């Protein structure tokens, strides 16, 4: 027995080398505003920086927005605007390093999740946001938020129900006047509800869709009258028409 132990002691130790796995996705910052948490995630290999938004509540879901990092990595975030109107909370976050604005909307109900729209900022000075219209039709709320410094109008829609999530859509507009929202048409087929809302000041029409079940969320689909549509935070722009 001692002979075998001695032979084993003379054998070289063989170990399996682990593979090197570089970490290219890292957290490069964090911001907390009230019950909203924003984490800055950077993909060092793709020169992308991302903002992940979520609300401090059980049952929430995060939303992430990514864009090109203009120099180096990371972001420099500041809140420059805040609106609280009924159940709706809207915050405007500016990434000064990468020259981006993000408008974040969520509701103060349990289980909510945020909706986010980001766009490049046009000017160096900080631009406040303000509420410039509110439409209440049945269980649907639509708010008109203006960002005059960047010539943007954002529509935020949500349904009065627990665990709802709003939708947000921002478009170019120089109209900063209050009001101008009205319902132009209404359709109900089974559980589906469709409302056509017009922003008269900006010349935009929006279809707001949702279903009449608990915890539903809205979807915005907006377009200038007679022009191609623009989708909301969860949608994608339509593919261009094929040439014949």
* DSSP single-letter state for residue 71: S
Q: Looking at residue 45, what is its pLDDT?
A: 79
How many Cα atoms within 13 Å fall on the side-chain side of residue 114?
26
Query: For residues 94 and 150, what is the distance between their CA atoms, to the nearest angstrom?
Result: 12
Contact between residue 194 and residue 186 where contact means Cβ atoms under 8 Å apart = yes
pLDDT along the chain (244 residues), means of 10: 46 55 80 95 86 91 91 87 94 93 92 93 74 94 93 94 90 77 96 95 94 91 75 49 36
Looking at 138-210, list the stretches that DSSP marks H as alpha helix, in order from N- to C-terminal side.
Answer: none
The length of the chain in residues reads 244
Spatial distance between the Cα atoms of 36 and 213, rounded to a whole number of angstroms? 26
What percent of the chain has pLDDT above 70? 79
What's the CA gap between 128 and 150, in Å, rounded? 10
Total Cβ atoms within 10 A of residue 243: 4
Tell the burial category of 123 from Cβ atoms under 10 Å away from its Cβ (0-12, 13-18, 19+): exposed
CA geometry: angle 141, 144, 146, nearest 5 deg? 155
Q: Tell me what pLDDT residue 174 has.
A: 78
For the chain, domain boundaries = 24-231
pLDDT of 237: 44
User: What is the predicted pLDDT for the residue at 232?
Assistant: 64
pLDDT tens digits, 138-196: 999 999 999 988 999 999 999 988 788 899 999 998 776 676 799 999 999 999 999 99
């Amino acid at each position: 027995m001692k002979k075998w132990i001695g032979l084993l002691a003379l054998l070289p130790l063989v170990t399996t080398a682990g593979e090197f796995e570089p970490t290219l996705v890292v957290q490069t910052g964090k911001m907390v505003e009230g019950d909203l948490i924003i984490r800055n995630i950077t993909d060092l290999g793709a020169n992308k920086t991302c903002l992940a938004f979520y609300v401090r509540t059980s049952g929430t879901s995060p939303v992430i927005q990514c864009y090109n990092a203009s120099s180096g990595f990371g972001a420099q975030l500041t809140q420059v605007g805040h609106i609280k109107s009924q159940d709706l909370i809207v915050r405007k976050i500016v990434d000064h390093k990468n020259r981006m604005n993000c408008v974040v909307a969520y509701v103060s109900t349990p289980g909510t999740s945020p909706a986010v729209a980001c766009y490049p900022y046009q000017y160096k000075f900080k631009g406040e946001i303000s509420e410039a219209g509110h439409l209440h039709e049945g269980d649907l709320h639509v708010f008109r938020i203006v960002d005059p410094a960047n010539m943007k109008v954002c529509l935020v829609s949500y349904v009065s129900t627990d665990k709802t999530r709003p939708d947000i859509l921002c478009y170019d507009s120089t109209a900063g006047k209050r009001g101008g929202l009205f319902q132009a048409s209404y359709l109900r087929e089974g559980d589906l509800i469709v409302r056509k809302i017009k922003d008269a000041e900006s010349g935009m029409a929006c279809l707001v869709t949702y279903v009449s079940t608990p915890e539903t969320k809205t979807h915005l689909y907006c377009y200038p009258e007679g022009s191609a549509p623009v989708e909301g935070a969860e949608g994608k722009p339509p593919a261009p028409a094929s040439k014949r």
